[in-house]
Amino acid sequence: MSKFKFGAHISTSGGVSNAVTNSTNISAKSFALFLKSPRRWVSPMFTDDEVNKFKALCKEHNYNSRTEILPHGSYFINLANPDLEKEEKAYGAFLDDLKRCELLDIGLYNFHPGSDLGSDHQEALKRLAKNINTAINETKFVKIVIENMAGHGNLIGSDLEDIKTVIDMVDDKSRVGVCIDTCHTFAAGYDIRDEESYNAFWELYDKTIGFEYLSAIHLNDSKAPLGANKDLHQKIGWGFLGLEPFRLIANSEFLQGIPLVLETPNDNTPQLWEEEIKLLEWLEGKSKDDPAVLERAAELSKLGKTERDQHSAKYAKKVEKGKKKTTKKGSIKDQPTVIDQLNKRKK
Ligand SMILES: [Zn+2]
Ligand SMILES: [Zn+2]
């Protein structure tokens, strides 16, 4: 029996209660779902019949809906939007999601922290925190779980410091949490590929935000290299992360008890998630140099090679272009290099 709650982001097509059966079908111990179409502002509310069915199925299949189900918010919800009208519209969709959670007796809700859209970043963090506070006051129990992001610049949450700043401004800290996405973490520039970097990341996470807030993990390999700021999920072991960080996760006691949810591309075949769940459970208790683990890692890595090569080339081109652009502007010469800055500090 696995000690971990490995699961996947499940389809709700045909009705929200189908998510429960879909996740038992792939032997998931936890699951994620959308509460409404993630690309539409308004969707009809669940019928009483659907709500009752959902709750009954959770009971029948032993899912604790307060701790093992992690709905994912709509992508376009930006609670930090500097345009008041748009901010209010986003808040409406956010609150609607939270109400849906409570109707289904779901205890966790995960969302993307949004973007400052070029406006003052600290003010955007304040708006986000203000909206979280209001939402907590307007609901009863659902925990609002902030996900870390892959991007840079205007996006909120690719820097762990952003999440810390927002949580600091939340009044009821028992109602806010964090979801760490492995792909986003790596794409944002935090290396987690081997034991040393993996441990260093969690140390930094704990120092910056705190383990008490860790509420879920999204399990994704990355199609793009370290620091590429690209949100491109890949199948486990196929990407630039490789199998090792997932073996480390499957041997991290502190991750037992929270949803560990796959969002990997599954080619419309949910059985691929079942295989990935089995793979993750198989990694439990296995050491880094176990010959079977090494063999599996090599097999999976081979399957993803073509895509890794493609994205490496794309990234290299982008870096090259970025350099040329700055050189043309002439700004690269005026900017002090990292080495310059370090030397200055020494003086
Ligand atoms: Zn995610
Ligand atoms: Zn993502």
Residue type, 201: F
Q: Of 233, 296, 308, 311, which one is the catalytic site residue?
A: 233
Would residue 231 show up in a list of annotated catalytic residues for this protein? yes
How much is the pLDDT for 39? 77
Q: What is the dihedral of CA 304, 306, 310, 311, to 10 degrees?
A: 10
Residue type, 111: F
181 alpha carbon, closest ligand: 1
How much is the pLDDT for 343? 39
Q: Of 68, 162, 181, 276, which one is the catalytic site residue?
A: 181
Which residues partner with 34 through β-bridges? Answer: 72
150 alpha carbon, closest ligand: 2
Neighbours of ion ligand 1 (CB under 5 A): 181, 218
Residue 221, C-beta contacts closer than 8 angstroms, at least 6 positions apart: 182, 183, 233, 234, 235, 236, 237, 238, 239, 240, 241, 242, 246, 264, 304
How much is the pLDDT for 323? 67
For ligand 1, the distance from its centroid to the CA atom of residue 169, given in whole angstroms, is: 23
Residue 52, C-beta contacts closer than 8 angstroms, at least 6 positions apart: none
Residue type, 308: R
Kindly calculate the radius of gyration of the chain based on its CA atoms and give it in whole angstroms: 21
Would residue 147 show up in a list of annotated catalytic residues for this protein? yes
How much is the pLDDT for 268? 87
For ligand 1, the distance from its centroid to the CA atom of residue 264, given in whole angstroms, is: 9
Q: Tokens 């010469």 — which residue?
A: 333
Residue type, 336: P
For ligand 1, the distance from its centroid to the CA atom of residue 50, given in whole angstroms, is: 26
For ligand 1, the distance from its centroid to the CA atom of residue 218, given in whole angstroms, is: 5
Backbone conformation region of residue 23, classed left if phi is above 0, alpha if psi is from -120 to 50, else beta: alpha
Strands 176-181 and 233-234: unpaired
Token reading at 240: 């630039």
Would residue 184 show up in a list of annotated catalytic residues for this protein? yes
Q: Are 288 and 244 in contact (CB under 8 A)?
A: yes
How much is the pLDDT for 345? 39
Would residue 123 show up in a list of annotated catalytic residues for this protein? no
Strands 214-219 and 108-111: unpaired
Token reading at 66: 């307060």
How much is the pLDDT for 252? 98
216 alpha carbon, closest ligand: 1
For ligand 2, the distance from its centroid to the CA atom of residue 218, given in whole angstroms, is: 8
Would residue 296 show up in a list of annotated catalytic residues for this protein? no
How much is the pLDDT for 43? 86
Q: Tens digit of pLDDT per residue, the chain (347 long)?
A: 899 999 999 999 999 999 999 999 999 999 999 999 877 888 899 999 999 999 999 999 999 999 999 999 988 899 999 999 999 999 999 999 999 999 999 999 999 999 999 999 999 999 999 999 999 999 999 999 999 999 878 999 999 999 999 999 999 999 999 999 999 999 999 999 999 999 999 999 999 999 999 999 999 999 999 999 999 999 999 999 999 999 999 999 999 999 999 999 998 899 999 999 999 999 999 999 999 999 999 999 999 999 999 999 999 998 888 765 443 333 333 333 333 333 343 33
3-state SS, one letter per residue, for the chain: CCCCEEEEECCCCCCCCHHHHHHHHCCCCEEECECCCCCCCCCCCCCHHHHHHHHHHHHHCCCCCCCCECCECCCCCCCCCCCHHHHHHHHHHHHHHHHHHHHCCCCEEEECCCECCCCCHHHHHHHHHHHHHHHHHCCCCCEEEEECCCCCCCECCCCHHHHHHHHHCCCCHHHEEEEEEHHHHHHCCCCCCCHHHHHHHHHHHHHHCCHHHEEEEEECEECCCCCCCCCCEECCCCCCCCCHHHHHHCCCHHHCCCEEEECCCCCCCCHHHHHHHHHHHHHCCCCCCCHHHHHHHHHHHHHCHHHHHHHHHHHHHHHHHHHHHHHHHCHHHHCCCHHHHHHHHHC
Angle value at C-alpha 142, between 139 and 145, nearest 5 degrees: 120
Would residue 121 show up in a list of annotated catalytic residues for this protein? no
